Amino acid sequence: MTMPSLFISHGGPNIVLDDTPARDYLTGLEAVIGRPSAIVIMSAHFETSGPVVVTDPEPGMIYDFGGFPDELYKIVYPAPGDPKLAERVRTMLGEAGFAAGVAAERGYDHGAWTPMLLAFPAADIPIVQVSIDPSRDAAYHYALGRALAPLRDDDILVIGSGHITHNLRAVFGAMRGGVAPDAAMAGKVAAFTEWFADRFAAGDRAAILDWKAEAPFVVENHPTDEHLMPLFFAYGAGGDAPRAERVHDSKQMGFFAFDSWRFD
């Protein structure tokens, strides 16, 4: 079975506790796409200079957050790694011109374990992690994904886990202040996310990869780029001219968007 590639807006770690549409989407994912034989995931929270592939056979947990409920720091997601698959990923990246390093020991950050806990709670599917390079652009991460597209033909699910918008200053300001949704910010988020929807519908790869020059309200939605890079990785993994489907698009506080995309 050929798997799709996915981009997931993973939210904060509290997504595993809160009753939200984004959580519901993830808990229903396996029923929609089926059960993969393995998963290759790029999380926005795994940053390196150049690509790094995790070869750890038993990744531990990384609680890379603060100020959340105590129970989140007790969660363990014991999905195994897969050193053999990791080496295959590293080789494929090398064949595409990327000198990929390896991390012999690295746990799951919340960009990896929270969506996987919801989607595949049995924690029995091997997972291999691939890093982002926050100094590199969309085309670079697209090329990383493109190099790994053949994995999908072997029933391997390729995932980019980031966020379609990621202005945490606006999010935390609304959360701490208990203020009403910011209508102006909501409009900027809608313009940004709909621009991507329109460009994916048109198959306009050039514009998508040039998002910083082409999309509206770039800085307002992404003060820094790292949480959008997994989108381009997933897009590349979808193949040469994939069908793009926005499979989830809820918002919290009216402007924190949880768009997720499927490519196949």
Tell me: pLDDT of 176 over 60.
no
- Please give the pLDDT value at position 225: 96
Tokens of 55: 């070869």
Helix (H, G, I), strand (E, B) or coil at 169: helix
pLDDT tens sequence across 177-204: 555 557 788 899 999 999 999 999 999 9
User: Which residues face 252 on adjacent strands?
Assistant: 256
Phi, psi of 167 (to 5 degrees): -95, 85
Residue 243's CATH number: 3.40.830.10
Distance CA 223, CA 172 (A): 14
Q: What is the largest distance, in Å, between two alpha-carbon atoms of the chain?
A: 51
Q: Lowest-confidence range among 66-80, 195-209, 245-259? A: 245-259
Three-class secondary structure of residue 179 per DSSP:
coil
Is residue 101 exposed (0-12), middle (13-18) or buried (19+ Cβ within 10 Å)?
Answer: middle
CA–CA distances in Å: residue 18 to residues 22, 46, 70, 114, 252: 9, 24, 14, 12, 11
**Structural domain that includes position 40:** 5-263
Three-state secondary-structure class, residue 154:
helix
Give the predicted TM-score (pTM) of the model.
0.95
pLDDT, one tens digit per residue, over 139-175 is 999 999 999 999 999 999 999 999 999 876 666 555 5
Q: Structural domain tally of the chain?
A: 1
At 96-147, the pLDDT tens digits run 999 999 999 999 999 999 999 999 999 999 999 999 999 999 999 999 999 9
